[in-house]
A = this chain, B = another copy of it.
Amino acid sequence: MRFELLTTDGDARRARLALSHGEVQTPVFMPCGTYGTVKGMTPVHLRDTGTQILLGNTFHLMLRPGADVVQSLGGLRGFMGWDGPILTDSGGFQVWSLGAMRKIREEGVEFRSPVDGDKVFLTPESSVEIQQQLDADIIMVLDECTPHESTQAEVKASMELSLRWAARCRLAHSSEGALFGIVQGGMHPALRDASLEGLQSIGFEGYAIGGLSVGESKEEMMEVLSHVAPRMPKNAPRYLMGVGTPQDLLEGVQLGIDMFDCVLPTRNARNAYLFTSRGIVKIRNSVHRTSDEPIDPDCHCYTCRNFSRSYLHHLDKCGEILSAILNTVHNLHYYHALMSRLRTAIEEGTLGRLSKALYDGWGQST
């Protein structure tokens, strides 16, 4: 992996990330391809909407169809017919989300498969091994998240376990894919600092911020982010995991984040909740029943170029598959086009002005 910082605008960074299977222009948004498919999208749709790099879920793929099957079909890229770069998560967050269904020990995490009830044991070593079988361009260390309501002592113990796991992941790692560490430490600046320092002394190709969007308020999240982001290494990519809305992405970029992923644009699309330059459009709303307008007059996606709000409203009412397809095409295109505008603004030093214009538009939500 090669990371080249091209220019900055305030804390915001414009960079180029050369990975095993392609180059990525940052700041970048990565759609989630949970089960080896971004729900409702063919690889052609993904390219057409402006997708540069996908996120694959280790937890889901290890259970179905199994990492060995994916590996034998040419890795995740070959399996799903995607010819660009892929980042895989470690499975840690999904296992942690199982709650009472998993047991966390020093060695790793034991859980029951939600698919067939089988006992599964995930360790830092097996997570890296699976991600290598998936042939990811970027591999994430296995980490433990901590519930928002944890005590500082609990968060500290958890963060330290994550550091020990991160070191084991570094040792286990042997592929061409880059390995990223994940900063934990909850809402506590001192613990976040300790986590970042520990990761840097191990040494990773990139650094992510984990443990956000887990129940804290937007203000708390931004507080942690403003503390951590500027302290992260300048010469490596910075990835904010699992966040968020277009507003979150803009604020993250302004704080110096390079990479984002979130299910929001794809999941919300399937619920007829659409992002536009003029705020949210809830296409299920009967106000759109006879509208011949596109979702967003400023959007150049396939959906906005070819279909009316009336048609999309109708497809949603009828529960048609095409509703999920066209809405997802739009939301992904909106996210990618937003990132593209942010990249250009950083190059031109006009991010502040663009930010104001974006907020003016979003305020029009209907």
Contacts and interface: CB of A to CB of B under 8 A. Distances in A.
Contacts of A308: 73, 79
Contacts of A72: 290, 292
Residue of A42, A308, A317 most packed against chain B (CB within 10 A): A42
A317 B69 CA distance: 14
Contact of A36 (B37, B302, B311, B324): B311
Interface string A314-336: 11011011101110000000000
A39 interface: yes
B39 A320 contact: yes
A326 B72 CA distance: 21
A217 interface: no
- Tell me how many chains of this kind the complex includes: 2
Size category of the A interface is 35 or more
A245 to B, nearest CB: 23
A288 to B, nearest CB: 11
Contacts of A292: 72-73
Contact of A306 (B43, B306, B326): B43
Interface string A45-83: 000000000000000000011000100110000011100
Given A72-B290, A306-B43, A36 B314 contact: yes
Interface string A15-43: 00000000000000000000111011111
Given A37-B315, A42-B325, A73-B310, 17 more contacts: A35-B315, A35-B318, A36-B315, A37-B322, A39-B320, A39-B322, A42-B302, A42-B322, A64-B314, A65-B310, A65-B313, A69-B310, A69-B314, A73-B290, A73-B308, A79-B311, A325-B325
Interface of A: 35-37, 39-44, 64-65, 69, 72-73, 79-81, 289-290, 292, 302, 306-308, 310-311, 313-315, 317-318, 320-322, 324-326
